[in-house]
Chains A and B, each alone.
Chain A
Amino acid sequence: DGGITQSPKYLFRKEGQNVTLSCEQNLNHDAMYWYRQDPGQGLRLIYYSQIVNDFQKGDIAEGYSVSREKKESFPLTVTSAQKNPTAFYLCASRSTTGQGQSPLHFGNGTRLTVT
């Protein structure tokens, strides 16, 4: 079945450590996104990529980095510079072909806890 896989589901890290969250899709989508979800704040866009080897900052990119070396993969690194890294992280993808705007497909998220 096609979909988006995020791993791991739960992740625990000590403050000061970098951590990388995995996101893989087999939907053949060109565009991929990383969102951060905090209670009462909805989803905020961290980074997005419309095509391989290209990505743009979203609304809250500080303290995060990404790469897009393959169409299927869009890993997110939470660096030690991110002041409040504990959150639920969601990866999404969508097709950019066709008319209108195709919907986002989401993974099941990674809950990161930094202590």
Chain B
Amino acid sequence: KAGVTQTPRYLIKTRGQQVTLSCSPISGHRSVSWYQQTPGQGLQFLFEYFSETQRNKGNFPGRFSGRQFSNSRSEMNVSTLELGDSALYLCASSLLGTGRKAFFGQGTRLTVV
């Protein structure tokens, strides 16, 4: 069974640009969650999607958005990038999104210059 796949692995963007990250969950998993990891704030929850619907959202500005497709693949978008958005972005896949084991992808390391 293939694991969680995130693309791209690395990105360098300029302030003000926008970026889209992709996450393909484990086959059969319908829940995808996104997390931001920075040295100062640790791992913080961004949002969760289940069957194409956002069910939960963390405390991030509206510049951070996401969506999920019918095949459960998910994308997150960050618009008007700021230097502080530089981070490792991780996505997690689980069967139902609650009370179940979560499996993480390798992450996308975003650097904003």
A in complex with B: no
